[in-house]
Chains A and B, each alone.
Chain A
Amino acid sequence: MIKQKDLRPKDLGRPDEQLIKVESLMKLKPPYNEEGMEPPFTEPKQAWREKYCASLDGFVGIDKLTRPESKEQEQEFVRKFLNGLEKAFTDANSGVLQPFLLSFEYCAKCNTCSDACHIYKATNGNELYRPIFRSEALRKIVKKYFTKSGKLLGGLVGADLEVNWETVARLGELAYRCNLCRRCAQTCPLGLDNSLFAKEIRKIFSQEMGIAPSPLHEKGTMNQLKTGSSTGITKPVFLDTIEFLEEDIEERYGLKIKFPIDKKGADILLMHNAGEFLAWPENPIAFAILFEEAGLDWTLSSEMLGYDNVNYGIWYDDAQAKKIALQQMKVAKDLGVRRIVIGECGHAHKASAVVADRMAYGEDKVPVESCLPLLWDLVKSKALKFDPSKNNFPVTLHDPCNVVRQMGIVQPQRKILKQICPDFREMTPHGVNNYCCGGGSGFAIMNSMNFSEFRNKISARTKFNQILGAFQDTIEEADIPKYVCAPCSNCKGTIRDILEYYRVTEKFNVHYGGLVELMVNALVSMNKPFLEFLE
């Protein structure tokens, strides 16, 4: 094992059982600065080391990356990776070629990006998580195998990384130590993007080698294309779930609401992350209450992929992303709706509105918009009546990276909160300068082996500190409920896990949820609290 501060990109292929160990972590804010408040790291099991690649930092993110049983398998693995790497610079990768080449060619290695990275920051500057570490390792391999200067001059131009199974596997794991939040790219003086390297490595693994974490691929995009949803919910199950939600609304709140399903020619096709129906049904319920009270002409779809807005493909596989995006567009087209409104799911916002924007043209496209401006419009136009005193407890807002930094939707959600939450306070920093929740790019749903420990203790650490920071004045007053508003399913999942892992809800009465739940809670028309913790 190498001391992390001595680690260099060329060490990636060293035969150590584990390259580095995370020993130092950023100090948490009170009361988590006290000894014993944070669960310690656990040791990876020997069986994991033998079967998977735990040799990077002791964590295993890719459950489909197994060790070879023969020399031939090992060589085949390396060969396939190199094939894929070569393809990354060809027209097979035309959708990203220009940005990738720019970032590949021009990095001045000034390290400005390091301080912007929440993972690097959370580990007190662990060399392995420095944004340019991964990029430089990949650059060295490309130079060594695919450039004349690298073949001729070797180490003089940086082509000095030994490529073996361990190198490639570690690089694959390292691609899943970046949340693809692109905060580093915001600070680069040359406008370059280190997250692209992580994404391209993930793509080579998936698109060429057929290796991707099963929560993203098998149980994610493949499942979605087969059943209609990454949750595995089929059309009959979806329709049953909706029926159950309608009963629940009537039983709990005495409201008779019929979810419009497959309504042809509706103004709005509302697309939720299907995970909401299972994990946070109060979110689609809240949307239905708001939309019905405002008298909007809306519908849900029960068609394949129409009831699940997720698109995990954008994190690891362009081909999967495209298949899903085009099918989702087709659902809207066939329904004849005027617009698609994306519910509270950050990556679905980006996937549908930005990534898929250039996957089709003309009549095949239906305009896509975020739910946030629409919700603000309902507040601003007074289509809904609120009593802010119902939300009289500290509320802070987590900004999903895909919504703010990657789409520029910053104000609508804040304007709503300022209207309906008298004790709203911002995190520091926020808006386009926010920190990722730590669950971005798939981490929120990756729980194989000990990966959730990486998420809870490392990638979500900076966000946890921001949450603690926002509630410093009342954190230890357990009788005061506090609410983290996270208008994104993946962010909510990550924040749920942080609050459980550090026992924050239990000890300090900190809760989490979406934006629409707060809105419904403040509705004058509601005769009882919508948020369960207020009951």
Chain B
Amino acid sequence: MALSVLAYAAIILFLGLSAYKAYRYAKMPLHGRMELYPVPKEQGHEYGGSYYEQVEWWNKERKVDHKAELIDMLKEMLFIKKLFDNQKPLWWLSYALHLGIYLLIAWTVLLVLGGLTLLAGGQVSPGSGIWGTLLFYLTAFTGLIGLLLAAFGSAMLLLRRFFDDTLRKYTTPQEYFNLVLLYGATCTGIFVWIKDLTFGTAREVVANLMSFTSFEASGLLVAHIVILFVMFIYIPLSKMSHYVGKYFSFHKVLWENEPNLKGSAIEKKVQQALARRPATTWSAPHITGQAPAKE
């Protein structure tokens, strides 16, 4: 019962805190333009071009290629392309972790669907119809590969950070903790579920958690679930919430090049931003208008 409450609380807090973080960034004042080319939505993005390459660009139709932007975004989200392009040795490890996490997210969704199927009186096993069979194999695949990749990736990133002289200089104990937490969650997962790689037990546990049904849990299972839920709550509070930050750093900073043209939506925002008087001001003499103290 307590685990069910914790499960719901962890998920709600994960989503709520992540959404709050995104809201906080979204509500920040309009900033100056800081785009950096190539901007994928621009015509000529293949070589880094922009609308500024046209004479009298403000009189030309603004062509924005949202498809190219989406493709670039997906490449970044699904494959961490920039890391692949610029630091391949690290990409293998980082991608193992991230792909593992993506698979584990899919696995969790499949477990929930499986749990719901069980609660509805259905079966999840080979030969139990298309739905049950599909859930069975997909859950086994995503769970097994996901756990292995995430455990491998987090362990390797941890070791790399620990044994690489440069990375060690810049890594704080808290940042080691982040990786240990990821490793702990996936590693305990492996130990808990290794006895049943069909994840039938996991599905039953999820069904019990969803329906607030008491069930017998070993010490290891409790430890795994608690670590997992602590991780869920901790992630949005830490810099591991870069899934939120990355959206803003690309879409609202590096790729945001909307010109402030008369009658545009951005013009209204500029107008509002310029009307706002800051509560805090800078103090240097050339700003306050006071004469500087003599040297």
Binding site for B on A (CB under 8 A): 5, 8-9, 66, 80, 83-84, 87, 90-92, 94-99, 101-103, 105-112, 115-116, 127, 130, 132, 136, 149, 153, 155-158, 182, 185-193, 206-210, 217, 222, 319-320, 339, 353-355, 357-362, 365, 367, 369-370, 372-374, 377, 404-412, 431-433
Determine the chain A residues whose CB is within 8 A of the CB of B94 once the complex forms. Answer: 110, 189
Tell me the chain B residues, 78-129 only, with Cβ under 8 Å from chain A.
Answer: 80, 82-83, 85-87, 90, 94
Determine the chain A residues whose CB is within 8 A of the CB of B82 once the complex forms. Answer: 112, 187-189
Query: Are B47 and A432 closer than 8 Å at their CB atoms?
Result: yes
Query: Are B249 and A99 closer than 8 Å at their CB atoms?
Result: yes
Query: Are B250 and A407 closer than 8 Å at their CB atoms?
Result: no
Taking the nearest CB of chain A, how far is it from the CB of B288, in angstroms?
10
Determine the chain A residues whose CB is within 8 A of the CB of B274 once the complex forms. Answer: 359-361
**B44: interface (CB < 8 Å):** yes
Determine the chain B residues whose CB is within 8 A of the CB of A358 once the complex forms. Answer: 30, 32-33, 260, 266, 270, 273
Query: Are B167 and A155 closer than 8 Å at their CB atoms?
Result: no
Query: Are A111 and B282 closer than 8 Å at their CB atoms?
Result: no
Taking the nearest CB of chain A, how far is it from the CB of B161, in angstroms?
8
Taking the nearest CB of chain B, how far is it from the CB of A26, in angstroms?
18
Query: Are A357 and B169 closer than 8 Å at their CB atoms?
Result: no
**A87, A130, A149: the one within 8 Å of B280 (CB):** A87
Determine the chain A residues whose CB is within 8 A of the CB of B282 once the complex forms. Answer: 84, 87, 92, 207-208, 319
Determine the chain B residues whose CB is within 8 A of the CB of A370 once the complex forms. Answer: 52
Given A191-B253, A361-B267, A374-B55: A95 and B86 within 8 A (CB)? no
Q: Scan B227-262; emit 1 where CB is below 8 A from any A CB, else 0.
A: 000000000000100100110111011100101101
Q: Among the listed stretches B141-149, B170-178, B184-192, B216-224, which one makes contact with chain A, having 4 or more residues with CB under 8 Å of it?
A: B170-178
22 contacts between A and B (CB under 8 A): A91-B278, A109-B171, A110-B87, A111-B167, A111-B170, A153-B174, A157-B173, A158-B172, A186-B36, A190-B242, A193-B34, A207-B284, A208-B284, A217-B286, A320-B286, A361-B274, A377-B55, A405-B36, A405-B48, A408-B52, A409-B50, A410-B37
Query: Are B169 and A8 closer than 8 Å at their CB atoms?
Result: yes
**B172, B254, B273, B276: the one within 8 Å of A185 (CB):** B254
How many angstroms between the C-alpha atoms of A409 and B80 in the bound complex? Answer: 27
Tell me the chain B residues, 48-78 only, with Cβ under 8 Å from chain A.
Answer: 48-58, 76
How many angstroms between the C-alpha atoms of A411 and B47 in the bound complex? Answer: 9
**B2: interface (CB < 8 Å):** no
Determine the chain A residues whose CB is within 8 A of the CB of B86 once the complex forms. Answer: 112, 115-116, 187, 189
- Closest chain A residue, CB of each to CB of B237: A149
**B25: interface (CB < 8 Å):** yes
How many angstroms between the C-alpha atoms of A456 and B253 in the bound complex? Answer: 32
Known: A108-B242, A115-B87, A432-B47. 5 other contacts (CB 8 A): A91-B278, A102-B25, A112-B82, A408-B39, A432-B37
How many angstroms between the C-alpha atoms of A435 and B34 in the bound complex? Answer: 18
- Closest chain A residue, CB of each to CB of B173: A156
How many angstroms between the C-alpha atoms of A96 and B285 in the bound complex? Answer: 22
Given A102-B249, A369-B57: A362 and B242 within 8 A (CB)? no
Query: Are B53 and A99 closer than 8 Å at their CB atoms?
Result: no
**B174, B262, B271, B279: the one within 8 Å of A157 (CB):** B174
Tell me the chain B residues, 152-187 only, with Cβ under 8 Å from chain A.
Answer: 165-167, 169-175
How many angstroms between the C-alpha atoms of A372 and B55 in the bound complex? Answer: 9
Given A87-B282, A102-B248, A209-B284: A189 and B80 within 8 A (CB)? yes
Query: Are A98 and B248 closer than 8 Å at their CB atoms?
Result: yes
Query: Are B253 and A98 closer than 8 Å at their CB atoms?
Result: yes
How many angstroms between the C-alpha atoms of A369 and B60 in the bound complex? Answer: 13
**A8, A157, A411, A433: the one within 8 Å of B49 (CB):** A411
How many angstroms between the C-alpha atoms of A83 and B38 in the bound complex? Answer: 37
**A96, A109, A156, A187: the one within 8 Å of B167 (CB):** A109
Query: Are B53 and A207 closer than 8 Å at their CB atoms?
Result: no
Q: Scan B1-32; emit 1 where CB is below 8 A from any A CB, else 0.
A: 00000000000000000000000010011111
Determine the chain A residues whose CB is within 8 A of the CB of B54 once the complex forms. Answer: 373
How many angstroms between the C-alpha atoms of A97 and B82 in the bound complex? Answer: 24
Query: Are B276 and A94 closer than 8 Å at their CB atoms?
Result: yes
